Amino acid sequence: MALPWCISPKRAIAHIFPSMRSHFPNWSYIKRIPKLLNLKLNYMKILNYISLLVRRTLPEVYNTYHGYQKLKLPENIQRINNLIIQKYGLVVQSGPFAGMVHVGRKGGAALVPTLIGCYEEELHEILGSVIQTNYDNIINVGSGEGYYAIGFALKIPTAKIYAFEINPIARRMSKEMARANGVFDRIFFAGEWI
């Protein structure tokens, strides 16, 4: 579908998304969005039109997304973090590493999902499989504050854990969390291989 380079965003959208007024967008509509982005148009106008498209055709998705964006404001994140910590403390409540004590200094919005047990929930089944396999050694490259390294050390008491993290602040947090969970002696912490 060739479009002239000087076409306006509104006409481009009307051309790429014909009969939007009467159709619920499906995959065939969604996969046309990259064609819009390939045109030499003002990207903000394109994004505004795509936002308008979603708002008109999928209001529940649009409203959920914008509600989520409001939740992500720093003042709201801190308020939510405080409420969760007051109610449950700094202990992971569910998921593969339930019972793990957290140090409570994870950046931004990630602390709440970690504490309630839904952090990277799409990996829970795989993590459960790793825990059941009962490996002797586990290597965690890019270990951050140590969530996975310490979680595996707690759930596989016979395993030796190797946690590599180049950020010294994250490595300090990881060591602090390992001490809080009583697994410091089974985790080898390092910054780089060399």
- List, run by run, the mean pLDDT of 10-residue segments along the chain (194 residues): 45 51 49 56 60 65 62 68 83 92 72 82 90 94 93 97 94 95 96 66
- Tell whether 66 and 78 lie within a shared domain: no
Rounded to whole angstroms, the Cα distance separating 14 from 35 reads: 12
For residues 23-38, b (16+ Cβ closer than 10 Å) or e, as one string?
A: eebeeebeebeeebee
pLDDT of residue 2: 43
Is 62 a domain residue?
A: yes
Residue 4, in any domain of the structure: no
Q: What is the DSSP letter of 183?
A: -
pLDDT in the model for residue 22: 44
Examine residue 125 and state whether it is found in any structural domain, yes or no. yes
Instruction: Give the pLDDT of residue 157.
Output: 95
Cβ atoms within 10 Å, residue 67:
10
Do 64 and 87 lie in a common domain?
no
Type of residue found at 41: L
The answer on 89 and 58 residing in a single domain is no
* Whether residue 44 sits in one domain with residue 107: no
Hey, what amino acid is at 18?
Answer: P
| Shared-domain flag, residues 94 and 174 | yes
Q: Do 64 and 85 sit in the same domain of this protein?
A: no
Domain that includes residue 60, residue range: 9-70
Q: Which amino acid is at 163?
A: A
pTM for the model stands at 0.61
